[in-house]
Structure formats: structure tokens, C-alpha cells
Amino acid sequence: MSRIYIEDLHRHVGEEVTIRGWLYHKRSSGKIRFLVVRDGTGLLQCVMVKANVTEEVFALSDALTQESSLAVTGMVKKDDRAPGGVEMEITSLSVIQIAKEYPISPKEHGVDFLMDHRHLWLRSSRQHAILRVRHQIISAIREFFDNRGFILMDAPIFTPAACEGTSTLFETEYFDMGKAYLTQSGQLYGEAGAFALGKTYVFGPTFRAEKSKTRRHLTEFWMVEPEVAFNDLKDNMELAEDFLEHIVASVLKHRMPELKALERNTKFLENVKAPLPKISYTEAVDLLKAKGVNVAWGDDFGGADETVISENFDRPVIVHHYPTKIKAFYMKRDAENPETVLAMDVLAPEGYGEIIGGSQREDDLDALVQRIQEHQLPQSAFEWYIDLRRYGSVPHAGFGLGVERTVAWICGLDHVRETIPFPRMIYRLTP
RNA sequence: UCCACAGUAGCUCAAUGGUAGAGCAUCCGGCUGUUAACCGGAGGGUUGCAGGUUCGAGUCCCGCCUGUGGAGCCA
């Protein structure tokens, strides 16, 4: 016998079925009880009328507490009075466990309390909606690259050295070999992959020990990083805009009920179609100056600056050709203007900030070694990476997309802490 | 790390320097269509910790702890 889930109940109207799940909420009125049951796929209002069940079953419903596990059996009926339009008329009920007093009530709670109870908070409908959208985004990411012949290439999490700034590494003892570090990015390994397999993507968790305490930061977050041999900056930007279009279209196609539950205005999401608007860093600085922001050419943009830039567009905007000195060592300098690199960031609209950062990579051996020295990085740790420029180096490019910021943007959340099941932040390691 | 704000019942919050309270949750009772149901009743407190001022401190002062929002840094 196949198991029936709440999300499929509209196909079982008129049948007697059994649903196993948890009590989400209960309302009682003398001789009639309304049990709202959840099973992970949705919520179902179950109506228990005293005359229709045995005394034992009716008494059992009195003992049910919020989140008690149970199985309900009854007739599935269409009823406009029920949330979801379908309800169950209970004929039988069995209790699996009576839950202890559940800490999360239907009333409001503070952020810290909810984060302390994250393992239970995940059961609420808002968190359901977010995690389903996250799932859809991850699914769309893999679908996009898989359909284009990219090979998933996992990068290591223990690494011998930094690829971004050195001050933001989590370190750990690695037997008698000294320190190992948790990866900040799989990109360098992705480059090795691109030279082996042509087009690859790295997808996994990354770690930054930045003491950032903002709505956009986690210490552990997921990143997907495509890397393509023979791609230049233009190819890279085109890949990024096709990629974003695909992700957003997939969520709009499959997760509208969740976006509605999150009260997400999808107007801007529907605009996410390639090609996206593109401006150079220099144009972005001029734009900021015209808006009265005090910036100079060569400054990196802060979160507020990114918001001002993105407010000029009704869809994500690509900013390219950043100053060399504010970007990573592996980015290729523009031959026409070595003060800039062939970098590009994608800024999400509505103030959600940078969701993609990428570049064409430095493929020249001498230039790369020089950049490593300029950044005072330990060259020995990068010998394998430099090797890629010794043996058949070619132009190549890639980018990284932060999954949590993308989820926050698409869901319209005001903080990334709700975009991942168990967020890791500067002051939170549990649950 | 820096700046600002906060910490009172299980939760969300009140309380002019003068008897610590409400709603929800819990428990008891009532109600045959509820939608965060409603109505009546009950229990529930070392006011974050440690000092100080005062006749008297949840309230004022000092230090610490924890958290929230933001900055810098970044995806």
C-alpha cells in the first residue's frame, strides 16, 4: 500500500485515508474538534465530531498537545472552510507520542529564542516555505550546469592555504603536518578541474572567519562555482545571467505557493531575464557620485553603496572592471588598463547586495607569480596552482554564487539566518 | 573589533525611585464549524550576574555576561 501525503490529498477526495504526522494546532468547541495536522508536505484540517467516533478516540483528542505524533484516519472532503480547501472527517485516531509542552507557540517569539530552538522552528510553515525554495534553487543550480555538460567536481574542505584574505581562515591542527584551514572557496581547485574537464562546477560549503555581524553573513555558507576553460569576461557574464534567469524561472515555476506564503512580491523576480544590465566599476562610481555618495575611484563598495547602485535597476545588475588593488590575486588584469581587473559582480535588486562574484583568471605564469608576491602570499602553498600556468595555460573564467544570499533575495527575507537549516554565525554554533 | 540599543513568568511585553502585572502557553471547567477560536477559573517570579547610591532599586550609577541592529570585511 502506498503512503498518502497531505500534498496529494486533493486526488483522494471521497476516499478514506490515513495520514501520519504531527499535531500543528488544535481548536475545540464542545462536541467538535479541529485538529490541524502536518506531515511535512502540508497542513490538513481534520474535523472530529463526537457522534462520529468512539468515546475513547474523542477522549484521546483531549490529551493531544502541540506536536504530538499521531495517525488520523477519515474521509477526505472538499470544504471551502478549511485552509487548503480539503479537510478530513476523522473516524479514527491513534497517538504515537504525546509531546511535552512545546516551546514554540503560535504567538510571536524573539530571534534569539527561535534560533536556540532552530531544530523545532524548522517545523513551522514559514521555515517550510523557505527550505523548499532553497531546495528548488539548489536543484535548479545543478540542473543548469548538468544540462550544459558541466562536470561537478568536489573541492577539498581542508586546505593548506588561503585563497581570499588570510585573516579570515578557520584553522585546525592537521596531525603532525601543522595547520590546515577550512576552505574559503573551491575556486582554485575548480580551475584545475576546468583544465582537466573543460567546464566544471564546484558546489559545497565554504567557511569565512570574518567577524561580520550583519544580515548578509554566515561563517559557513554554500557556494557554487563554475569554471570554464577558454571563457573570457564576456562569456563569464553571459553564463552568469543565463544562470540567474534559470534559477529564478525554476522557483517561479515550481514554488509559487511558497513565495505566496512568504508574501514575496515577485515583480522584480519576473524581470530576471538575460541579458542583464551591465555597468563598469567606473560608471558605478560616477552613478554613486551623482547620487551624492562620497566615494572615490579605487574605493570598494560597502553594502549601502551596493544598495544605491541596485536601486537604479529593476533586475540584477552586473558591475565589471573593478580596480586591481581591491580584488583577489588570481584575477586577470585588463591589458588596456592594468589598474582594473577582468572582474564582475552581480548585485541583486532591492538591496540584497552581491550574490555573484567572478572574473577571468590570470593565465600568465609570470604575472600570476608577481601577483602572489604582491599579495604577500606563501608561494610554496600555491605551487600546484601555478603549475596550471606551466602546462598548457589557457584563458579561463568563472564565478561564485552564494546560495544563502540568493535564497534570501528570492524569498525576500531580511536576514540570511533563515535560509539554511542550521546557520553558523559569529555568535552562534548551536544547535 | 567598533558604535547604538536591550535583558522582568515557558514565550511576547507592561510597571513616575514606593504592594512585580497582562496576553499567549500550561492545568481545570464550558461551548457542534473553528481559522493565532471564544468564555470562566487556577498555578506560575532570586526582574541576566556582581557591586554601589537611597528610608526604599525592575527603575539611578559602575563593571561584567548574553543578545539584537548597524559599521568594517565579504558571497
Burial annotation A234-248 (CB, 10 A radius, 16+ → b, else e): eebbebbbbbbbbbb
Distance (Å) from CA A214 to C1' B6? Answer: 18
Domain boundary among A97, A131, A164: A97
For residue A304, what is its C-alpha cell?
549601502
List pLDDT tens digits, range A253-298: 999 999 999 989 998 899 999 899 999 999 999 999 998 888 889 9
The CB-side HSE value for A310 (13 A sphere, CA atoms) comes to 24
Strand B bases contacted by the protein (CB, 7 Å): 1-2, 10-13, 23-27, 30-38, 66-75
Residues in chain A: 431
Quote the pLDDT of residue A81: 83
Quote the pLDDT of residue A164: 52
Flag whether A371 is in a domain.
Answer: yes
Quote the pLDDT of residue A430: 83
User: Best-predicted range by mean pLDDT among A46-60, A91-105, A354-368, A371-385?
Assistant: A354-368
In the predicted model, is pLDDT for residue A235 greater than 70?
Answer: yes
Quote the pLDDT of residue A209: 87
Flag whether A425 is in a domain.
Answer: no
Indicate if A20 and A138 belong to the same structural domain: no
Residue A213 or residue A255, greater confidence: A255
Quote the pLDDT of residue A1: 52
Which residues 302-341 in chain A have a CB closer than 7 A to strand B?
302-304, 306, 326
Indicate if A338 and A217 belong to the same structural domain: yes
pLDDT tier at A162, thresholds 50, 70, 90: low
Flag whether A377 is in a domain.
Answer: yes
Q: With beta carbons less than 8 A apart as the criterion, state whether A58 and A48 touch.
A: yes
Mean pLDDT confidence for A370-377? 88
pLDDT tier at A84, thresholds 50, 70, 90: confident
**Domain span at A93:** 6-97
Indicate if A320 and A233 belong to the same structural domain: yes
Flag whether A106 is in a domain.
Answer: no
Flag whether A430 is in a domain.
Answer: no
In the predicted model, is pLDDT for residue A133 greater than 90?
Answer: yes
Indicate if A86 and A124 belong to the same structural domain: no
Indicate if A60 and A190 belong to the same structural domain: no
Q: In total, how many domains does chain A have?
A: 2
Q: Rounded to an integer, what distance in angstroms lies between the CA atom of residue A25 and that of residue A68?
A: 10
Indicate if A83 and A177 belong to the same structural domain: no
Express as a percent the part of chain A with pLDDT over 90: 70
Q: Which amino acid is at A141?
A: I
Quote the pLDDT of residue A165: 53
Indicate if A92 and A138 belong to the same structural domain: no
Quote the pLDDT of residue A96: 93
Mean pLDDT confidence for A202-212? 90
Mean pLDDT confidence for A217-222? 93
Flag whether A429 is in a domain.
Answer: no
Indicate if A381 and A267 belong to the same structural domain: yes
A77 closest-nt by C1' vs CA: B33
Is A237 (CB) below 7 Å from strand B?
Answer: no
Indicate if A265 and A372 belong to the same structural domain: yes
Indicate if A327 and A194 belong to the same structural domain: yes
Express as a percent the part of chain A with pLDDT over 70: 98
Indicate if A272 and A395 belong to the same structural domain: yes
List the CATH number of the domain containing A305: 3.30.930.10
DSSP labels for A62-123? HH--TT-EEEEEEEEEE-TTSTTSEEEEEEEEEEEEPPPPPS--SS---HHHHHHTHHHHTT
For residue A365, what is its C-alpha cell?
605564469
Mean pLDDT confidence for A111-119? 91
List the CATH number of the domain containing A73: 2.40.50.140
Quote the pLDDT of residue A204: 95
Flag whether A173 is in a domain.
Answer: yes
List pLDDT tens digits, range A2-46: 789 999 999 999 999 999 999 999 998 888 999 999 999 999 999
| Of the listed ranges A36-50, A170-184, A313-327, A399-413, the one predicted with least confidence | A170-184
Is A430 (CB) below 7 Å from strand B?
Answer: no
Indicate if A90 and A124 belong to the same structural domain: no
Instruction: Report residue A225: phi and psi, to 5°.
Output: -135, 95
Average pLDDT value over all residues in chain A: 92
Flag whether A112 is in a domain.
Answer: no
